[in-house]
Each structure stands twice: as C-alpha cells, then as structure tokens.
Amino acid sequence: MYIETRDLKKSYGEGGSFVQVLKGVSIQIEKGEMCVIQGTSGSGKSTLLNCIGGLDDIDSGSVSVAGTLVERLKGEKLSDYRRDNLGFIFQFYNLVPNLTVRENIQVCEYLTKDPLNIDELVDVLGLTEHQYKFPSQLSGGQQQRCAIARALVKNPKVLLCDEPTGALDSKTSRDILVLLEKINKQYGTTMLIVTHNNSIKNMVNHVIYLKDGEIYKDYLNEHKIPASELEDL
C-alpha cells in the first residue's frame, strides 16, 4: 500500500486543554489515487494530512508513505522526506509577494534534482501570460494556480491539498479541480484533498469521512464524474 496509517493517534494540549484529535485512524491509499478526506470542523482532517506530511508529530500508531515510516524521521531526514516526496497546497496561497509567478515556482524548482519543466507546467496551468506578474496582480484563482505549480515543480509523488478551493468562487473552484484532475492523469500524482465541499467527493477514486477523530466512512467511488461536471461548488 502506497500510503497507510495504522491506529494513528494525535492529541494537543495538556490537562484541561487536552484534546484527542485522532483516535486510532487507519487508512490505505493506492498509488495514483485521488482521495478526498471529508468531515466537519474539528473532525481531524487537516491533522491527518499534517501527520502524513510530517508536519505534526504523532502520539502513537504509524504513518507509512512509499515504504517510509514517517514517524521515525527526525531533523534532516524528515526535511529530505518532505522535499523528495511531497507537494503542499493550502487554502491560502502563501506566495512570496515580491517574487513573480515564475520566481515563486523556481523557489521550489531549486529544491529537487528532478524538477518538472517550468515552461510546460505554466502552460498546463494556464499561467504563461501571467508568469512575470507579481501575486498582487493576480486573481485568487491565478494565485492558486501558481501555488499548485510551485508544489508540482518538485515532481512530488504525493500532493497534499488542504481546502484548495476554500477561498475561491464556484467557477474558479471548478477550474482548479479540473486542473488537479488533469495533473493526476498526466503525472500519476497521488492526491489527498481535504475539503468541506460535499461535491468534490464525486470526482475522486476514494472517499474517507472523519467524524470526531475516527473513520466514519471509507469507500471507493464506483461512479465518479469528471470535475468539469461537478455541481454546487
């Protein structure tokens, strides 16, 4: 199994502020899958993503990505794991404001030995005519496209997306989801997408629903539809 967590537990705080966020979560995701992780606020969606991404330490259990046990990695080895395997996309784009679109992408290009071709990437993402603009000159959708390009230029094995359409309108959300679908098909990138939006689950292979830190539903989508046909975004 390409991504696997076993009896994953994660808590925050101590004493009266102690909160058990993940209560023994076990999931399995195949290579090349697009997987949606759903749940209400506080259900543990982003925490699960952060544990897989090595951004949060775990209390107990295990996290395996492409055969690597993430919880055993420390310091430089953990940094290497994130650099060599993962791309991150967040709801807020976190672009460097005084760098152009192309320069923002190049920041991550320099981190890898086998980057994707920037010219091809900006073309695929519809950024060619915007590549020398600064973030303040872009729409929200264009900024998110730049953030996606920055994450992808490293040629990551896994793309972790935390509410990638959360700050976007319906049309722009659909455009971004069509792009993610295209990237999955073109590059075979495994994707985990955390979202509140109930429609997005209809375009992916695999759906995981968390409730109060536990798996409530975990199923394969037998009747997925193209992102371009999604409604109620």
Domain CATH for 199: 3.40.50.300
- In 3D space, the residue among 150, 185, 180, 184 whose CA is nearest the CA of residue 164 turns out to be 180
Q: Is residue 98 part of a domain?
A: no
Distance CA 154, CA 129 (A): 22
- In 3D space, the residue among 129, 83, 130 whose CA is nearest the CA of residue 109 turns out to be 83
Q: Is residue 108 part of a domain?
A: no
Token pair belonging to 14: 């101590």
**64 to each of 3, 150, 169, how far by Cα in Å?**
6, 25, 35
pLDDT tens by residue, the chain, 233 residues: 899 999 999 999 888 889 999 999 999 999 999 999 999 888 999 999 999 999 999 999 999 999 999 999 999 999 999 988 999 998 888 899 999 999 999 998 888 888 889 998 898 888 999 999 999 999 998 998 899 999 989 889 999 999 988 888 888 889 889 989 988 998 899 999 999 889 999 999 999 999 999 999 999 998 899 999 998 87
Q: Is residue 107 part of a domain?
A: no
Q: What is the pLDDT of residue 4?
A: 97
Q: Which residue has the tokens 């999604």?
A: 230
Q: Is residue 220 part of a domain?
A: yes
Token pair belonging to 150: 């920055």
Q: Is residue 126 part of a domain?
A: no
Partners of 65 in the beta sheet? 3, 68
Distance CA 83, CA 154 (A): 8
Q: Is residue 114 part of a domain?
A: no
Q: Is 30 helix (H, G, I), strand (E, B) or coil?
A: coil
Token pair belonging to 38: 């759903």
Q: What is the pLDDT of residue 15?
A: 83
Q: Is residue 181 part of a domain?
A: yes
User: Is the torsion defined by CA of 81, 82, 87, 91 positive or negative?
Assistant: positive
- 216's enclosing H/E stretch is strand 214-220
Q: What is the pLDDT of residue 6?
A: 97
Domain hosting residue 82, numbered range: 3-90+156-225
Query: Residue type at 110?
Result: Y
Token pair belonging to 115: 């980057």
Q: What is the pLDDT of residue 232?
A: 82
pTM equals 0.90
For the CA atoms of the chain, what is the radius of gyration? Answer: 17
Q: Is residue 34 part of a domain?
A: yes
Token pair belonging to 61: 């259990």
